Amino acid sequence: MLFKKTMQIEGDQDSYTLHPNIKPYALKDVGFQVTNAGNYTLERSVDPTSPYNRNQMLKVTVAKDLSGFKMATTNASGNRRLNIFKGPHAKGNVEQYHFIMQNLIDREILKKQ
């Protein structure tokens, strides 16, 4: 998947863009790791009961030049996309997802459209 200016998770009504004030140190402060290609990547569990339960993950990758990003909710291995807005655990997963996204908004990494 290519880096885009605007992204939306399947099932979410909100879309997000990179904040115009985004800084590399803010990415690292929130927990983004630098990949071998120089991009910044963040993986967080959306399970509200434990941050260590990696059944459903939010993955966000920001381009090394901060020009675009990509994000998805996936299974633990990352090879299958999931819609966290459906299913028996949707309420808790969505609440945790919104908590993570709000943190990224507060830190001026993402901006809600």
CATH number, domain at 67?
3.30.1820.10
Mean pLDDT to the nearest integer, 40-64: 89
Number of domains forming the structure of the chain: 1
Q: Domain for residue 28, yes or no?
A: yes
Decide if 93 is inside a domain: yes
Q: How far is CA 111 from CA 12, 20, 32, 39, in A?
A: 15, 8, 17, 19
Phi-psi region at 61: left, alpha or beta (left = phi > 0; alpha = psi -120 to 50): beta
- pLDDT for 26: 95
Q: Is the pLDDT of residue 41 over 80?
A: yes
For residue 51, the enclosing domain spans: 6-112
Asked, for residue 27, whether it belongs to a domain, the answer is yes
pLDDT given for residue 1 in this prediction: 58
> Would residue 33 count as lying in a domain?
yes
Give 88's contacts (C-beta < 8 A, 6+ positions apart).
none
Q: Examine residue 1 and state whether it is found in any structural domain, yes or no.
A: no
> Is residue 17 within 8 Å of residue 111, measured between CB atoms?
yes
The pLDDT of 79-106, averaged and rounded, is 92
The answer to whether residue 35 sits within a structural domain is: yes
Residue 110 phi/psi, 5-degree rounding, is -120, 160
**Full-model pTM:** 0.90
pLDDT, residue 105, reads 97
